[in-house]
Structure 1
Amino acid sequence: METRKTDIVKTLRTIKYDTATAQKMEKIALKLDRPQRLVFAQMVDYFHRSKKDPLDVNDELLKNTLLKQHKDYIGFIRTQENEILIPIKHEVDRMNRNQKTIMDHFGAMDIHNRTVLQSHRELLLGQKVHNDILRQVAGSLDGISDKMADREAMKEKFHYILDSYVQKRDSFGMMTPAREKEELLNRTRKQIDLL
């Protein structure tokens, strides 16, 4: 049985656009290493599935803002490492040197009694400083952990508010009065202010 040629060939459509748009399309297709027709079909599917307006770039701005805040937190943690953890290591090294000094003096205890006592005092003082620094580190790490947890909770609440806004906005038709749209925007702003 012979298949008809029209059954095999898909019906193709043509869209006309300017040279600048064509160049952008070529760059996107090259970057993704896909044919332009496939990239175009995937863009249409994306906007159809996500129900996003291509002119609405706020989602990208939100992602970029969150990424910047995340980088700031990482920078803060690295600063704490340089300002607290590295000095702790230096202090521990100093304590080790003091302990070695004490051990050296134990061999000649009768002669160096005063030196041993002084080294012992320095060791105790070093241990106290070390314990204080460890308490500060523990407090800083608890604070960082709390801030990260608060940030995650804030993100979840903001996502909920944003999703509610988008869902309600998408349910509006062309005949929806501007007053309802303004009320939705005001309600959403109030919810964000309450965060």
Structure 2
Amino acid sequence: METRKTDNIKLLRTIKYDTATAQKMEEIALKLGRPQRVVFAQMVDYFHRSKKDPLDVNDELLKNTLLKQHKDYIGFIRTQENEMLIPIKREVDRMNRNQKAIMEHFGSIDLHNRAVLQADRELLSGQKVHNDILRQIAGSLDGISDKMAGREAMKEMFHYILDSYVQKRESFGMMTPAREKEELLNRTRKQIDLL
């Protein structure tokens, strides 16, 4: 729709479109609470300023999908850490303190008592098993800590790739060939696959 001013008279141009498009236009105008003519003019201004192709909706969908998956992954790691790993480590530390106290108590009793010696051997064997479990848990916690640090680095790399994509995308004009847009999208996907 184009308006020309001639001697304070506005000449309006007419655009013809089908019924389905008219219904969509009415729904948009109702949702936004503005007249259809104003909404149409704002759409034209938006695409003119942003230099975006209305047919290409992939850039927002890609960004939103990647961000949602990243948030889900981080949420899973935090849940596992809070619900499993921290309580397990706390309980293992408590068990170790209790076993040391028991060992010290049995160490002070007469060593000639065979029952006490047998109990000491069993406790030492149990402590060895618990220490092995503690080492495995400590290794798991170290691995999770490394993954959390890696998560931050991956987040930075993802932001860099996304920013590069958006900057290049913004530099495209309305006349940019679809082939260039597809090449940009393919390069961006390859960069993400390398993360």
Q: TM-score, normalised by structure 2?
A: 0.58
The aligned runs of 1:11-90 (5 Å cut-off) are 15-31=15-31, 33-37=32-36, 38-71=38-71, 73-74=73-74, 77=77, 80-81=80-81, 86=84, 89-90=87-88
The 3 A distance-change label for structure 1 pair 130 and 43 is farther
The 3 A distance-change label for structure 1 pair 122 and 92 is farther
Q: After TM superposition, give the deviation of residue 86 of structure 1 in Å.
A: 0.9
Aligned residue pairs total: 179
Alpha-carbon distance between aligned partners in 2 of 1:20 and 1:94, rounded to the nearest angstrom: 66
Alpha-carbon distance between aligned partners in 1 of 2:182 and 2:174, rounded to the nearest angstrom: 14
Q: Which has more strand, going by share of residues?
A: 2
Post-superposition CA distance 1:101-159 (Å, at most 9, x none): 76578399638744356446534643453243223222233134325423532552464
Matched, 1:153 2:151: no
SS across alignment from 1:43: helix
Task: Tell me the residue number matched to 2:143.
Answer: 139
Q: RMSD in angstroms over aligned alpha carbons?
A: 4.8
The 3 A distance-change label for structure 1 pair 12 and 123 is farther
Task: Tell me the residue number matched to 2:3.
Answer: none
Task: Tell me the residue number matched to 1:3.
Answer: none
AA in 2 matched with 1:35 = R
Gapped runs of 5+ residues in structure 1?
1-5
Task: Tell me the residue number matched to 1:110.
Answer: 109
Is contact 2:165-2:188 (8 Å) kept? Answer: yes
Post-superposition CA distance 1:71-111 (Å, at most 9, x none): 453365257538xx615523542553564476578399638
Q: After TM superposition, give the deviation of residue 50 of structure 1 in Å.
A: 0.7
Tell me the percent identity.
41
Is contact 1:98-1:119 (8 Å) kept? Answer: no
Task: Tell me the residue number matched to 1:170.
Answer: 173
The 3 A distance-change label for structure 1 pair 16 and 99 is same
AA in 2 matched with 1:26 = E
